[in-house]
Amino acid sequence: MPKAKNVTVIPATLNIHTKTPTKERVRRRVAAYARVSTDSEEQLTSYEAQVDYYTRFIQENPDWDFVEVYTDEGISAVNTKRRDGFNRMIRDALAGKIDLIVTKSVSRFARNTVDSLTTIRKLKEAGCECFFQKENIMTFDSKGELLITIMSSLAQEESRSISENVTWGQRKRFSDGKVSIPYGQFLGYRKGADGLPEIVPEEAEIVKRIYREFLQGKSTNAIATTLTKEGIPTPGKKAVWQRATVESILRNEKYKGSALLQKSFTVDFLTKKTKVNEGEVPQYYVEDSHPAIIEPWEWEHVQAELEQRKSSRSRHRQTSPFSGKILCADCGGIFGTKTWHSTDRYRRVIWQCNDKFKGEHKCETPHLTEERLKELFLSALGAYLSDRETVITRLRDTQRVLTDTDFIDEDIRTLEENLTTITGKLRLCITENAANTVTEETYRTTHAELCSRFEETEAKLAAQQRQRDKMKADAIAIGGMMFELGELDTLPVDFDEKLWHGTIDHVTVHADERVVFRFKDGNEIVTRL
């Protein structure tokens, strides 16, 4: 029988985590972390209580040196990217300034399992321990990481449940027609005493000005530049306006008293990533949900103008009301400005075809001065309104015809049903081919025929939709025209930009010096230079 070996155990003299002597009483530098997820009065009271409690808790321990209570107010714990107090605490701990972090619970620390474990492991490597009071977990304990994994996972699922409940609550409010406006980033409205939106008069005037100047021919960039120069703050209280900010105001349906809800949605509750709603989740359109700043017809008129400028061959860069509206009869090009004698006293700005000298043969259309254009417009308007009552009646009848889209809507529904039927037949055709129930030749013939029918039907549908959209846009333009003409007590003697934009579709200049004004109802008045 082999003789038993004599083994002597040499006790550890250093702490495996802190590298300090095990028998030596070491004072620890201790910090605490406190957080509340909302900035409500109740939560803020809890926040103050946490800070006071942990300050006294650390200072009353004779073996601890108080470092700081790191805090975050109104910040979610789902991820750590936006938690400034938390991130500063971790940086200090990794820099060797903290030996122990005390916090209320795992959920206060993080509700994301990955973030929680990653952070705790980094701290452990740096010799910093964490103590979670509620769960009584010390991260240097052998079972600490397992318990934290379990608790963090539970906290993460709790966050998921809360997020889903919040989302459900929001969608329930949307379906009930309850409108919420981000007042801090929104111009023209504030939260009223009853909790509903109310108009801020001075801000509403800025909104009305933006719409008015846009319809007078100014570009969104020009409007933004003017507002910046005048020192008018943006909706977000910034000094510099951007073109996109102006366009967002022009496109926002809330200014006409309606609201489209759930334009975007949260994709992931962990990352809080949002995306534009392209049909993934329901949307809710609420009419007359709050007081309007802009008349509905004017808002619709602006949308039509935005689309027209978007589809224009030439970008709308100028601030002149004539930009994009003067056409050359010779080549179909657009008239633009040209400065003669720009450096001397004979300086003169004229309008001529932008493509006048680009082709093999130069356009024979004459140039015009802005003053002459204004005179011709007033003359054409006078001729057009020689019998104003008849004109208004004709416009009203035209608008009624344009708004009657029932026959097109019926065609669109039929074409959509046909597309659905053809799609079903295509799927069946593919399924039969995969199952080898038809010959290859039969499959190819049937498939080609169905694809051809699909493309043909799709093209017809697109054409009908374009026609319907054009009718609606024309009806809106006619409505704006009726409004502008209804405001006239007498024929104007001076050029009016708003009247120009409200009545004129375009002007065509001919080589024989004819200048033809086409009004938005399709009628034309011929003038001469």
Provide the CATH number for the domain around residue 217: 3.90.1750.20
- Residue-wise pLDDT tens digits, 507-518: 999 999 999 999
Nearest CA to 473 out of 309, 292, 284 is that of 309
- Could you say which of 270, 289, 311 is where a domain stops? 311
Average pLDDT, the chain: 78
* Residue 266, domain member (yes or no): yes
Number of H helices, E strands in the chain: 14, 18
Q: What is the mean pLDDT of residues 313-318?
A: 46
Nearest CA to 15 out of 95, 100, 81 is that of 100
- Residue-wise pLDDT tens digits, 209-259: 998 888 766 788 889 999 999 999 998 888 899 989 999 899 888 888 887
How far is Cα 258 from Cα 174, in angstroms, rounded to an integer? 13
* Residue 429, domain member (yes or no): yes
Give 314's pLDDT tier (boundaries 50, 70, 90). very low
* Residue 522, domain member (yes or no): no
Question: At which residue do the structure tokens 């349906």 appear?
Answer: 253
* Residue 326, domain member (yes or no): no
Instruction: Give the model's pLDDT for residue 276.
Output: 66
* Residue 343, domain member (yes or no): no
How far is Cα 197 from Cα 4, in angstroms, rounded to an integer? 88
Structurally, the chain folds into a number of domains equal to 3
* Residue 514, domain member (yes or no): no
- Could you say which of 98, 133, 163 is where a domain stops? 163
Q: What is the mean pLDDT of residues 487-495?
A: 74
Q: Assess whether 192 and 157 both reside in one domain.
A: no
Nearest CA to 35 out of 65, 66, 78 is that of 78
Q: Which residue has the higher pLDDT, 107 or 68?
A: 68
Instruction: Give the model's pLDDT for residue 240.
Output: 92
Q: Among 84-98, 345-359, 374-388, 421-435, where is mean pLDDT lowest?
A: 345-359
- Residue-wise pLDDT tens digits, 369-392: 888 999 999 999 888 888 777 877
Nearest CA to 128 out of 96, 103, 80 is that of 96
Contacts 24+ apart (CB under 8 A), 407-414: 408/464, 408/467, 408/468, 408/471, 409/468, 411/464, 412/461, 412/464, 412/465, 412/468
* Residue 158, domain member (yes or no): yes
Give 35's pLDDT tier (boundaries 50, 70, 90). confident
- Select, from the ranges 187-201, 210-224, 410-424, the one with the highest average predicted confidence (pLDDT): 410-424
Domain range for residue 256? Answer: 183-311
Q: Assess whether 159 and 210 both reside in one domain.
A: no
